[in-house]
Amino acid sequence: MDMPIIHDNAVDLSVLSGKVIAVIGYGSQGRAQALCLRDSGLNVIIGVRKGPSFDAAVEDGFKTLSVADASKEADIIHILLPDETHGPVYKAEIAPYLTAGKTLSCSHGFNFVFGEIVPPKDVDVIMVAPKSPGTEERKRFVEGFGVPGLIAVKQDYTGKARETALAIAKAEGLTRAGVLECTMEQETYEDLFGEQNVLCGGCVDLMKYGFEVLTEAGYPPEMAYFECIHELKLIVDLIYEGGIQKMNQVISNTAEWGEYINGPRILPIEVKERMKKSLKFIEDGGFAKEWMAEARSGAKNLKAKREALGQHPAEIVGARIRKMFEKK
């Protein structure tokens, strides 16, 4: 069944008139979303801890407060903190000010779905999720369009939760491109699955293996980098524009034949079986439990993996190559 796509003409901003929206966090998403909401004429304040983000919000001309003070003042509390901090920040600085009829909002359902945040019954709980990094979202908004997005309603106390989510989406330009309505569970599971199996995990390992096999066989790392990492963008751009068939029209027949014949050899059907297991692990909360334990114990493994990646030859040669090809 086709999902209906919601556009600008179906959404009214009036549900937000007179409302104060507190954007909590002023990082990648916080800054982009807050600027778009303000440009759409809404009353936006920022709640964030003291530091570089706080300074950036002040610099951008926002009324900038602590998370607690912003939550106290706001009608709509839109949490855009790193996911692993939502639980503790919510308990200490948001929950005490979450009076009846307020709206609690997010851009990724993780904490509501996995029980890190358990909101009271007398508030609305919604999600407005741009399907894009913050910089791209802001850029497209400034150009007069927008990136696509998802909305979800987890709890509707006022009877206006859906209207509110759609209005926020419109004010961020998302309904210009088109918005899909889903459940927070669908968004959360699907988002984690995609990033772990295809987009980040999956893709990154594929590129690294390709680079390693070529260089270990004696091919120059510069060539391996171009072949297995740099060129991925060209391929993905073609797919983005016109699908896999369009990409196949542009590449050579030789490349297309290689795709059909060797793809299933290096990614055999067992990979799909592993992906199914990965989806189950996400849906039953296993991944969230593991990741929260890691984050709460100081993220030592995360930091070690980050550091190790910096030593990977593909990263070292890549930095050098990208510099060489910069416009002078």
Positions touching ligand NDP (CB under 6 A) are: 25-30, 48-49, 51-53, 67, 80-83, 85, 89, 106-108, 129-130, 133-134
Q: Please, what sign has the CA dihedral across residues 157, 162, 163, 164? A: positive
Select the residue whose beta carbon is closest to ligand NDP and give its number. 27
Question: At 92, is the secondary structure helix, strand, or coil?
Answer: helix
Least Å from the CB of residue 291 to ligand NDP: 12
Q: How far apart are CA 174 and CA 277, in angstroms?
A: 33
Q: How far apart are CA 244 and CA 267, in angstroms?
A: 17
Q: Contact at 8 Å (CB) between 201 and 165?
A: no
Is 108 annotated in the active site? Answer: yes
- Of residues 85 and 158, the one with the C-beta less far from ligand NDP: 85
- Of residues 79 and 228, the one with the C-beta less far from ligand NDP: 79
Q: How many CB atoms lie within 10 A of CB 25?
A: 26
Q: Contact at 8 Å (CB) between 21 and 44?
A: yes
124 is a contact residue toward Mg ion (CB under 5 A): no
Among 191, 210, 287, 314, binds Mg ion (CB under 5 A): 191
Encoding tokens for residue 316? 């070292």
Q: How far apart are CA 94 and CA 123, in angstroms?
A: 13
Q: How far apart are CA 13 and CA 166, in angstroms?
A: 8
- Of residues 12 and 195, the one with the C-beta less far from Mg ion: 195
Least Å from the CB of residue 274 to ligand NDP: 24
Q: Contact at 8 Å (CB) between 176 and 36?
A: no
Q: Contact at 8 Å (CB) between 172 and 140?
A: no
- Of residues 107 and 164, the one with the C-beta less far from ligand NDP: 107
Encoding tokens for residue 34? 């807050």
- Of residues 28 and 66, the one with the C-beta less far from Mg ion: 28
Least Å from the CB of residue 255 to ligand NDP: 31
Least Å from the CB of residue 30 to ligand NDP: 5
Stretch that binds Mg ion, among 54-62, 86-94, 149-157, 187-195 (CB under 5 A): 187-195
User: What pairing do the DSSP bridges indicate for beta strands 43-47 and 63-65?
Assistant: parallel
Residue 108 binding target from ligand NDP, Mg ion, none, CB below 5 to 8 Å by type: ligand NDP
Q: How far apart are CA 184 and CA 126, in angstroms?
A: 8
Choosing from 78, 86, 108, 312, the catalytic residue is 108
Least Å from the CB of residue 320 to Mg ion: 30
Total chain residues near Mg ion (CB under 5 A): 1
Stretch that binds Mg ion, among 80-88, 112-120, 172-180, 184-192 (CB under 5 A): 184-192
Query: Which residue numbers are catalytic?
Result: 108
Instruction: Catalog residues that contact Mg ion under the rule CB under 5 A.
Output: 191
